Amino acid sequence: MSAKVIDGRLIREKVLEELKEQIACLNLQRPLKLAIFQYKPQVPDELYAHSLKRVAKKLDIEVEVKTFEDLESLKSAIYAYNEDESVDGIMLQIEDKKDYLYYTSFIIPEKDVDGASPENLGKLIRKDKGLRPATADAVIRIIKETGYEIRGKNACILGRSFRSGLPIAIMLMNEDATCTVCHSFTKDISIYTREADILVVAIGRANFIGADMVKEGAFVIDVGINQVNDKVVGDVKFDEVREKSGYITPVPGGVGSVTDVMIFRNLIKGVIFRNEKRH
């Protein structure tokens, strides 16, 4: 069999149209605005910010990118932008994981477009209303777009990062899947991947998953983005695995395409939540 290749760009366009309608319903007297705070940005940070700017332009959303040389200045800016009613979302680009988590905690939940603040992550676990991590939100949207039934399925997630692996596992469990999370200390990962109806790979290791590690007809979602010989590839051997799986996302053009728009979905949801608080 050959898998159905899911075009994330088509899903992105569909979500963009939904967001345009939501923005129109807000009846705002000003454009929406996203602030991106960078601390010693690397090339991938610059590329991602540029990608978000392209999406924002389609939605007539302003994007302000500020670069900081010290984290205390960044923290002060977070406090200022939390209070600034002309700013609707704040995103941090900080390479160190601990620093990222620490400084994200200062963003008010309604402006935390990454869905990474302690309050938003807590709401995710409790199934309360909040902003969800964009990558996890994208994965669930991709699966649902196909009409695939998540409930009762065995899901295996490779990777346990706070930005992708863990939130994806929680959101799949919230959809009544049975989840196994594998990580660097898991012995013989293939024991778990071969039993998975839904396999999500988010470990950042190029071409790690081959067909021999995948269940026949599985739904394979490749979250990985890796640079190999000037080519962007995922964590899955795409050409090989597509011949065995039922559905598969490509890299590029898969999860990343949908994640970008989910950032702005969070921004709009945050505006709605702030309006609800006022009333």
pLDDT at 3: 86
Q: Where does the chain have alpha helices with state H? A: 8-26, 43-58, 71-83, 97-104, 118-126, 134-145, 165-174, 190-193, 238-241, 255-278
pLDDT at 18: 98
* Interatomic CA distance for residues 227 and 14, integer angstroms: 28
The CA-CA-CA angle for residues 248, 251, 257, to 5°, reads: 95
Q: What is the DSSP string of 36-65?
A: EEEES--HHHHHHHHHHHHHHHHTT-EEEE
Which CATH code fits 29-109? 3.40.50.10860
Q: Are 223 and 201 in contact (CB under 8 A)?
A: yes
Residue 232 CB burial class (10 angstroms; 0-12, 13-18, ≥19): middle
Q: What does pTM read for this prediction?
A: 0.95
Q: With the C-alpha atoms ordered 153, 159, 165, 166, is the resulting torsion angle positive or negative?
A: positive
* Interatomic CA distance for residues 273 and 255, integer angstroms: 26
pLDDT at 227: 87
Output the six-digit token pair for 112: 């935390």
Q: Are strands 219-222 and 247-248 parallel, antiparallel or unpaired?
A: parallel
pLDDT at 270: 98
Portions of the chain given CATH number 3.40.50.720: 134-256
* Interatomic CA distance for residues 240 and 246, integer angstroms: 13
Portions of the chain given CATH number 3.40.50.10860: 29-109
Q: Is 159 annotated as a binding residue?
A: yes
* Interatomic CA distance for residues 47 and 9, integer angstroms: 18
pLDDT at 131: 98
pLDDT at 1: 63
What does each C-alpha distance from 221 to 2, 70, 116, 218, 279 come to in angstroms?
15, 37, 21, 10, 40
DSSP state of 90: E
Q: Is 165 annotated as a binding residue?
A: no
Q: Is 160 annotated as a binding residue?
A: yes
pLDDT at 2: 79
* CATH architecture of the domain covering 134-256: 3-Layer(aba) Sandwich (3.40)
Q: Which helix (H) or strand (E) holds 237?
A: none
Q: Is 263 annotated as a binding residue?
A: no
Output the six-digit token pair for 139: 């994965």
Show pLDDT as tens, one digit a residue, over the chain (279 residues): 678 999 999 999 999 999 999 999 998 999 999 999 999 999 889 999 999 999 999 999 999 999 999 999 999 999 999 999 999 999 999 999 999 999 999 999 999 999 999 999 999 999 999 999 999 999 999 999 999 999 999 999 999 998 899 999 999 999 999 999 999 999 999 999 999 999 999 999 999 999 999 999 999 999 999 988 889 999 999 999 999 999 999 999 999 999 999 999 999 999 999 998 887
